Structure 1
Amino acid sequence: MSEFKTKSLAVACLMALCPLVAQSADWSDTYIGYRYGSKFAEPFGARDISKSIINFGHVSGYKYGSNFFNIDLLISDSKDPSAPASGSGAQEFYAVYRNTIDFSKVAGKSLAFGPFSSFGATVGFDANSKVDAGYNSKKRMLVAGPTVMVKVPGFLNVSVLALWESNAPYNKFSGVQTSRYSYDVHPMLNAAWGIPFSVGPVALSFEGFMNFIASKGKNEFGGGTRPETNIDAQIMYDVAPITGLPKNTLRVGFEYQYWNNKFGNDHKAPGDSGALAKTPMIRAEYHF
């Protein structure tokens, strides 16, 4: 199947699911959050970058499945500058949307089997826009593939997704605008989870995601790309017991991100140690 046809099929799947997404939610959770870390890194850029990240998130369930949407505003310090010799930090918006169809809900009966509570399919997109001194990413990506729901307290979804990714960067150093370039269609193994647990009387939650992404072929400059690993996990504590707020209104915690070969760049290549980041963060969320 040609790349044009596979892209068209992915778009058609997303459009077909729009009526399902529009249905009224059975349950929902909307929140704003803040996290901060001082050990971020960028490919072909600096290490030990400090970033403040403000996010808006929404998750909901409806008759046939669930929706997840999140948008981050990432604000860097001057180690990741917004323009050459600007003295100000880069800013980036990054949006993620996923719709997961639960085949048990569609069938109206349990499809549980062995360690799996159900089976389904996930579609969605990623999009970003970054203003920085070098690459100025304008990523666009469609995703689609099967999902299994694992029997755990809370949830654990594992998906194998095809990625249709493109970018159209603008290099402020060279003044070169790159036409939108599509990478090879490539797979991603994704896991997303939220698992409650307790340490004595303290109720906690282990949450996060893991992405193992295959090489996406040649980049827009003709160089090769590498498989990448992005693991982002957090331990969250609901402060309701000590504040008097309703349960799960305000949560705080610790987050850690490991990102190897970031965006497909080889962290072992000369001058590209920034393609490997190990970033501890503090995190807070207000749910309403």
Structure 2
Amino acid sequence: MRSTLLTSLPAHIQPSIQASKSKLSAIKPLTMAAVAIVALGTMTGVQAKTLFADTSITGLYGDNFKLTPNKDDNTLKVMTLEHASTHTWGGVFFFVDRIQGDEYVSNTVTGETKKFKETYGELAPKLKLATFDNSFIKQVNLAGQYEFGSNGKGFSQDNYLVGVGADLNLPIPGMKYASASLYHAYNSKDDADDQQITLTYGWEKNDFVIDGYIDYAFNSEDDSVRDNIHINPQIKYNLQKVLGIDNRLEVGMEYSYWKNKFGSDETQNAASALVKYHF
């Protein structure tokens, strides 16, 4: 689960639904570029060979989430569909979260309550620019990211990120992958563009798995939005061998530490139980 739950923010940091015309004119080329990169992945033949592909579904249940509209507590249930693949031309990462919280007061006059529901997703393609042998930097990429979401309270967002990234060769036994990317973010809220550094990693040994990401957003055009960092590891154990099944089945936990969540003054420390099945 990534940058979700954009409903109960203070008004001064809630992204507006409509972007300005000037921003839309800048976003359209980015959208076309992202579509073009993804389209490359559908090509066949030697020039578009698939090197790795994985699709999974994850169930999460946790509490102590900040800035949620829940009536009594901050418990969330999340179902995530996720896909990652690498190709000779680059790669694609995609996920979509379906989030459900507890009841919140939807009408302060009548006291009516509703179940909180939200959908959030990201599409992150990368296009290989250069590769290096026997180097700390294995590959340099043109990186993009499209963030989208909406919820039952009428909020929606479309954010576009573009930048450069590098796949890294870390000399750590069991390290499966690591990457670092620097983006400029064109956010839905007017005059609130910022920059973002994203680190991803994956480590596995003896069926124990630790993977996740770190997002650091900074330098917002809106002075009221604070720099914020989100550290989100998953710690899992693969039961495939124990159960003698064909596909990976992982159990464990996800931990979310988010200082100045969404640029507010709230800091989140939330743990969730996790079950993840790979197709």
TM-score (norm 2): 0.80
**Structure 2 matches for 1:234-249, cutoff 5 A?**
234-246=234-246, 248-249=247-248
Q: What is the aligned partner in structure 2 of residue 253 from structure 1?
A: 252
Q: What is the aligned partner in structure 1 of residue 87 from structure 2?
A: 62
Indicate conservation of the 8 Å contact 2:235/2:254, yes or no: yes
**Residue type of the partner of 2:212?**
G
Indicate conservation of the 8 Å contact 2:37/2:126, yes or no: no
Instruction: Find out whether 1:207 has 2:206 as its counterpart.
Output: no
Q: What is the aligned partner in structure 2 of residue 117 from structure 1?
A: 138
Superposed CA offset, 1:101-126 (max 9, x none): 2234xxxxx42464211211211200
In structure 2, the CA distance between the partners of 1:112 and 1:7, relative to structure 1 (3 Å rule), is farther
Give the 3-state SS of the residue equivalent to 1:256 in structure 2: strand
Indicate conservation of the 8 Å contact 2:216/2:228, yes or no: yes
**Residue type of the partner of 2:215?**
N
**Structure 2 matches for 1:10-29, cutoff 5 A?**
10-23=30-43, 25-29=50-54
Partners of 2:249 and 2:138 lie apart in 1 by 30
TM-score (norm 1): 0.77
Q: What is the aligned partner in structure 2 of residue 176 from structure 1?
A: none
**Residue type of the partner of 1:209?**
Y
Q: Which of residues 124, 136, 143 in structure 2 aligns to 1:98?
A: 124
Partners of 1:249 and 1:45 lie apart in 2 by 34
Q: What is the aligned partner in structure 2 of residue 42 from structure 1?
A: 67
Displacement, 1:215?
Answer: 4.3
In structure 2, the CA distance between the partners of 1:131 and 1:22, relative to structure 1 (3 Å rule), is same
In structure 2, the CA distance between the partners of 1:46 and 1:238, relative to structure 1 (3 Å rule), is same
The share of aligned pairs that are identical, in percent, is: 19
Indicate conservation of the 8 Å contact 2:132/2:139, yes or no: yes
Partners of 1:258 and 1:151 lie apart in 2 by 26
Structure 1 portions without partners, runs of 5+:
105-109, 167-180, 268-274
Superposed CA offset, 1:147-182 (max 9, x none): 01111321111000111110xxxxxxxxxxxxxx42
Count residues in correspondence.
Answer: 247
In structure 2, the CA distance between the partners of 1:243 and 1:191, relative to structure 1 (3 Å rule), is same
Superposed CA offset, 1:29-81 (max 9, x none): 11111001011111788794000001111111222111111000110012x55
RMSD between superposed Cα atoms in Å: 2.4
**Residue type of the partner of 2:165?**
T
Partners of 2:207 and 2:136 lie apart in 1 by 25
In structure 2, the CA distance between the partners of 1:279 and 1:142, relative to structure 1 (3 Å rule), is same
In structure 2, the CA distance between the partners of 1:55 and 1:44, relative to structure 1 (3 Å rule), is closer
Partners of 2:43 and 2:107 lie apart in 1 by 44
Partners of 1:196 and 1:61 lie apart in 2 by 19
**Residue type of the partner of 2:164?**
P
Partners of 2:106 and 2:84 lie apart in 1 by 32
Q: Which runs of 4+ in 1 moved over 6 A?
A: 43-47
Indicate conservation of the 8 Å contact 1:162/1:187, yes or no: yes
Q: What is the aligned partner in structure 1 of residue 76 from structure 2?
A: 51
In structure 2, the CA distance between the partners of 1:18 and 1:33, relative to structure 1 (3 Å rule), is closer
